[in-house]
Amino acid sequence: MSFQVFVIGVILLNGLSSSPASASPDSGFEQIRNSLVKIYTRTNPPDLGSPWQSKGIRSTSGSGVIITGNRILTNAHVVADQVNVEVKREGMTRRYTAQVVHVGHESDLALLAVDDFTFFEGAVPMELGETPIIRDSVSVYGFPLGGETISVTQGIVSRIEVSRYSHSGRSLLLVQIDAAINPGNSGGPVVSGGEMVGVAAQSIRSADNVGYMVPASIIRHFLADVEDGRYDGFPSMGVVYQSIENDSLRGALGLQGEEKGVLITGVNDGSSAHGVLGAGDVLLEMDGVSIAEDLSVPWRENNRVHFSYLVHEKQVGDEMSLKVLSGHERKDLKVVLKNTDYLVSRPNYDVKPSYYILGGLVFQPLTMDYFKLFKHAPPDFSYYVGYRNLRTPERRQIVLLSKVLAAPLTRGYHGLRNSIVARVQGQVPRDLPDLIRIVEESSEPWLKVETESGRTLILSLEEARSRTEEILKMYGIDGDRSGDLVRGQSVISDQ
């Protein structure tokens, strides 16, 4: 059986109408050159290991391109966690202050603005073309590390598929090219036939000249999304699934003849499919398009891509029709598409991580950001991330006892870290705010924390409360909880 799994294996590049293969990929060089932008970013990313502090100011650079409306298109990872952004066009000597006006971390895209309109004088915005096809010629423009002037490399499109974006962990349409792209190319335009057909985004560390671009169709979706001034993101069905290639499985499910589809094995609470699909249902068609036994659907000129592509083409709030086999009964259903949060949330940027400290015990939600701290993640983390990453009404987050701050009160527990909390005061915490509620409402003499690995921690609850401030001062921590966990608030987003 083919199950949905999580894979990470690429690096980002900050420091990356279909044209025929014979067309010149860089016609109109001077026009393209005048639209190119070098981006200088100072960032201050959070320290997930000590979530009350940041890692400190860092300087990075990337590339961008001027598009219609005096906007600069680049990668989201070029400006993630930014505190200051400056831009400079090719041939200019002056840097201009820029503002991030829209950012879509899922698709690794961002739009910048510059208040001083002299920055745009003489620039001709790049036109957005169509996503190229395999063997189309392309040129990659940008400012890779090693110099201040532009670099241009050429190659062809070698693969098109739904694949994982390294920045967000989200699987969307991604185009592989063999043109050399390097750190600093991120956000630079990929051009074919004088039009922008993508934005350079990431590469594989262990391979030569294997790069990836965000294709024109994803860029167009992003630009259409933000036209109303708000970024909603890419919808998802919010299901766990497996392929149906085995004949016995097909027969048991009631599939007939050449009928094909996807077996739903779980549905995320609050997702697009919640209340519409259930475990054991077979998804046969989406908007009239049949899904093959290998989970693929047709995509341009006899190519095939993962069936989730059909969902990603839609905007949040759009309706999609489904043909479903449920209990051997065929049904025509509809769903309103949402952007779904999962039990283990996707990477977050431009926000501070959540945490809560009581008596030296540090609690955090398990997130993809936290998961990525590990070269070899704990097996229980990997299970929730890769195989059962579904919210339920009873569990909206996986809450961790991430570490224990050394103090006399916590003697004997100092080495305990990265443990999933099973119960607090005998109750399963729905999420981190719910854990806080359980503790603050408790009148028990003891604080009892049980982990999924079978460990139990017990502290005097009165002493834990009274000594928290003293322990925070010992470690230079300003407060017992992150800013999003203001006293009195005990819910998290259901979106």
CATH code given to domain 239-336: 2.30.42.10
The answer regarding whether domain 11-228 maps to CATH 2.40.10.120 reads yes
What is the DSSP track for 452-485? TTS-EEEEEHHHHHHHHHHHHHHTT-S-SB-TTS
Question: What is the Cα–Cα distance from 157 to 165, expressed in whole angstroms?
Answer: 17
- Read off the pTM: 0.88
How many Å is the Cα radius of gyration of the chain?
Answer: 25
Determine the pLDDT at residue 9: 39
Determine the pLDDT at residue 31: 86
Question: Do 358 and 351 contact (CB within 8 A), yes or no?
Answer: no
Architecture of the domain spanning 356-474: Alpha-Beta Barrel (3.20)
Q: Can you tell me whether residue 277 is helix, strand or coil?
A: strand
Q: What is the mean pLDDT of each run of 10 residues along the chain (495 residues)?
A: 36 44 57 93 95 94 96 97 95 94 96 96 94 93 82 92 93 91 86 94 72 96 97 95 93 91 95 96 97 94 92 97 95 95 91 96 96 90 90 95 96 94 97 97 97 95 97 96 74 42
Determine the pLDDT at residue 144: 84
Q: Which residues are catalytic?
A: 77, 108, 186
User: What does the domain layout of the chain look like in residue ranges?
Assistant: 11-228, 239-336, 356-474
Three-class secondary structure assignment of 390-424: CCECCECCCEEEEEECCCHHHCCCCCCCCEEEEEE
What residues contact 204, with CB distance under 8 A and at least 6 apart?
9, 10, 11, 210, 211
Question: What is the Cα–Cα distance from 282 to 262, expressed in whole angstroms?
Answer: 5
Determine the pLDDT at residue 488: 47
State in Å, rounded, how far the first CA of the chain is from the last one: 31
Determine the pLDDT at residue 388: 85
Determine the pLDDT at residue 375: 87
Distance set, CA 95 to CA 16, 40, 43, 80, 180 (Å) = 21, 9, 17, 19, 27
